[in-house]
Every structure is written in C-alpha cells, then in structure tokens.
Amino acid sequence: MGKGTLVRALRERSPDIWVSVSATTRSPRPGEVDGVDYHFVSDDDFTHMIERGELLEWATVHGTHRYGTPRTPVDNALAAGKPSLLEIDLQGARQVKASMPEALYVFIEPPSMDELVRRLVGRGTEDDLERERRLRTAETEMAASKEFDRIIINDDLDTAVSQLEALVLDAR
C-alpha cells in the first residue's frame, strides 16, 4: 500500500530500472498520464488483451477495476538484462510467481492502518465506499505478507525508495 507513490519516486531516482506500465480499466486521476502511469483502456479493450494472451497476469483489484501487466515489454526488458519492476497486487503476484518463481517478491506495507486511512483521506480521490474497499484489500493483502520474500515498511518515503532500489538492483 503506497506502491504507486513509491514506484513513481523510484522511476525518477533510478531511470535505469525498468518499470512495467500496466493496463487498467479505471479512469485517470488528476495528473496521471496515459502511457506513463498506466495504459488507460476500455473494458472491451482489456477483454481483448486477455483473449489475445497479451497479459502476463491480470486481476480485478479492490473488487472494481481490472489491472494487468502487458507481457511483451516484460519479456523484452528481461531479455535485455534490465533491472525490472512490476507494481502489482497480491493476486497478480501469485500469478507471476507461478511462472517466475525465481523473481524477488517484495511486499510494501503501510506503517499502520491509521496512517493508511490518513493517506487515503488526504489524497481525496476516492469516495467513502471506494476507500472502504481499499482498506479491506489492504487487510487481506497484509494477512498474506508472509508469501513475499521481503517486506518494506513505507513510512519515510525516501527510506522506502532507497530500500526498494537496493532490492531491485540486487535481485537482478
């Protein structure tokens, strides 16, 4: 939780780390750019991507919108030996682990549920229902954190970004 913020900061700090751009059926938030933050696609387009086998993994996240990792860019980055990062939810991580057990799986955890609530309220982009959904997802994901190889507590952003950067570069 807080993965989006962490990964955006890592991208700026370490342009050599390749970060996958996911496809999603959700709408852009203010400031999000198509093709940079996500490929914002329609429900029909997402379904076609699944049918054509274009996604390495995909999931319905927070019970609402679908998110998925385009397969070809990942294959290309790995073939080029680039340090690579996928920012995906628990369901996606489980799918990728089935085909890439050798990858390093890092769980990003908020300092506390209270702080997570404060951050979501502070962002102000979700209504009460959506915020509630996100908190339930966070609880489910935290209960599964043992499935991951490493845990980073996203308390101080700079510290968390440095820890993530070190893990990605080491795992290469």
Ligand X SMILES: Nc1nc2c(ncn2[C@@H]2O[C@H](COP(=O)(O)O)[C@@H](O)[C@H]2O)c(=O)[nH]1
Least distance in angstroms from the C-beta of 132 to ligand X: 15
Binding ligand X (rule: CB under 6 A), the pick from 10, 59, 74, 152 is 59
What DSSP character marks residue 34? B
Instruction: Spell out the residues 6+ positions from residue 115 whose beta carbon is closer than 8 angstroms to its own.
Output: 155
Least distance in angstroms from the C-beta of 43 to ligand ATP: 21
Q: State which of positions 118-137 bind ligand ATP (CB under 6 A).
A: 119-120, 122-123
3-state secondary structure of 163: helix
Rank residues 22 and 163 by Cβ distance to ligand X and give the closer one.
Answer: 22
Q: Write the DSSP assignment of 73-122 as a string of letters.
A: HHHHHHHTT--EE----HHHHHHHHHH-TTS--EEEE-S-HHHHHHHHHH
Tally of residues, the chain: 172
Contact between 20 and 70 (Cβ < 8 Å): yes
Per-residue contact string for residues 49-78; x = within reach of ligand ATP by CB under 6 A: ------------------------------
Nearest to 85 by CA among 7, 170, 5, 4: 7
Interaction partner, residue 41 (ligand X, ligand ATP, none; CB < 5-8 Å by kind): none
Least distance in angstroms from the C-beta of 158 to ligand X: 21
Interface ranges with ligand ATP (CB under 6 A): 1-5, 119-120, 122-123, 154, 157, 160
Interface ranges with ligand X (CB under 6 A): 3-4, 22, 26, 57, 59, 61, 67-69, 87-89, 91-92
